[in-house]
Amino acid sequence: MNPTAIGTNRNAPWTDAAAVASDPLLAHKAPYLNSAFFLARAAIFFAVWIGSAALMLRLSHKNDRTGDPRHEKRARLFSGPLVGVYGVTMTLAAVDWAMSLEPHWFSTMYGVIFVVGQALSTLAFAIVASSWLHKREPFRRWLSADHFHDLGNLTFAFLLLWAYTQFSQFLIIWSGNVAEETPWYLARTTGGWRAVALILVVFHFAVPFLLLLWRRIKRDTRTLPKVALFLIAMRYVDLYWLVQPSFHPGELSIHWLDLATPLAIGGFWLASFAQGLKGRPLISLQDAQLQTALETGTPKTRSSA
């Protein structure tokens, strides 16, 4: 069963035939926003994502078993284009699954915000996972403060990119002051949602920004994972702020399922992730560039940022 089909008829206004017939804008978007095409696109998205992951895992597994450099070359050949494919499909998925909840509003930056946020979450998770591995052999010898420093710099860069995309969208809509666009932000900056918006400004951007400016924190294997965990929590708050006001504009509403659902899905994902690692090496010993990646740079070659 396609999970995106659950609740679509109840939550999406464009699934109501009467609403579409009486609304010229919904009627104009009907060739794209209709249940059949919506589910077909979702099936394509999942097929592309699962197929891409399966392909890369298969090539990696073959390289681990045989050491044949052809498999590594193929992985490099496919990985770049697949990142682009993921960016496009995830952008369309964000439009379908979140932006279409308010079909009268639209933004070309919306999907980019989701993709950048996912990259930020991935880097934060990589820091947490690396800190856990750092306490165990052989990663205790392989993972150094320089590796955490690099991950911290990447996280800092994507934090800035997230802030840039969010502020760019807000600035364009605020300066344009178009009646079709401003209600989206009014619903998220009035009532109880104003406090959530301020929380995002302070704790999703300002506090992590200041912390990740410190080189010492980015090289500390105990402090940096805590910052990363905090960012993961803020990522959920950001997604909640993007989606939930579509159902409760101006009125902050928190249901126990809003907390239980991500915990359940996250727990299932972590269990599946851990299960998938059991039968595979955690690091590819056949990688020709492994030694270079694990070597600790000298102070002359390392950035002081």
Would you tell me how many other CB atoms lie within 10 Å of the CB of residue 251? 12
pLDDT digits (tens, 9 = 90+) for 72-93: 888 889 999 999 999 999 999 9
Q: Which residue pairs, CB below 8 angstroms and at least 24 apart, start in 293-297?
A: 294/142, 296/144, 296/146, 297/146
At 200, list the tokens. 């995002």
Tell me, what's the pLDDT at 4?
A: 57
C-alpha span between 128 and 224 (Å, rounded): 8
Position 249 pLDDT exceeds 60: yes
State yes or no: pLDDT of 7 exceeds 60: no
Residue 299 has pLDDT above 50, yes or no: no
pLDDT tens-digit profile of 116-150? 999 999 999 999 999 998 888 778 888 889 999 99
What pLDDT, on a 0 to 100 scale, did the predictor assign at position 64?
Answer: 78
With 50 as the cut, is the pLDDT of residue 32 above it? yes
138 preceded by cis ω (within 30°)?
A: yes
Token representation of residue 20: 């579409």
Question: 179-183: long-range contacts at Cβ-Cβ below 8 A with a sequence spacing of 24 or more?
Answer: 180/104, 180/105, 181/105, 181/107, 183/105, 183/249
pLDDT in tens, 251-269: 888 889 899 999 999 999 9
Per-residue model confidence (pLDDT) at position 141: 80
